């Protein structure tokens, strides 16, 4: 089965969205532990906001292709959960 350029782009965007989400989680964790380092904490906070904006841009790009993000794992079909996917929308 040949993979179209569109399919490849959507997979890349999905991966980028997931990576940004992981970065947000990590930055939030680090940020919460920097109370004794205010300058560093401010830098991490700035990076966290930039990362959130980046994730929003990726989400908007996915939306242009008709790919909707699922906010809760419980909304996923069981087979999809087993595969570890967190998106819905058919790729044409």
Q: What is the pTM of this model?
A: 0.72
What is the dihedral angle through the alpha carbons of 44, 35, 39, 25, rounded to the nearest 10 degrees? Answer: 0
Helices and strands in the chain, H and E counts = 3, 2
Note down pLDDT in tens along the chain; length 92 residues: 567 999 999 999 999 999 999 999 999 999 999 999 999 999 999 999 999 999 999 999 999 999 987 654 554 455 544 555 544 454 44
pLDDT at 68: 85
Where b means 16+ CB within 10 Å and e means fewer, 42-54 reads eebeeebeebeeb
């Amino acid at each position: 089965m040949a993979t179209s350029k569109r399919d490849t782009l959507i997979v890349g965007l999905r991966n980028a969205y997931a990576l940004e989400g992981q970065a947000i989680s990590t930055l939030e964790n680090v940020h919460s532990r920097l109370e004794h380092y205010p300058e560093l904490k401010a830098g991490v906070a700035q990076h966290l906001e930039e990362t959130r904006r980046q994730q929003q841009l990726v989400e908007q790009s996915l939306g242009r292709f008709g790919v909707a993000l699922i906010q809760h794992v419980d909304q996923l079909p069981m087979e999809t959960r087993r595969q570890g996917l967190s998106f819905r929308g058919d790729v044409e």
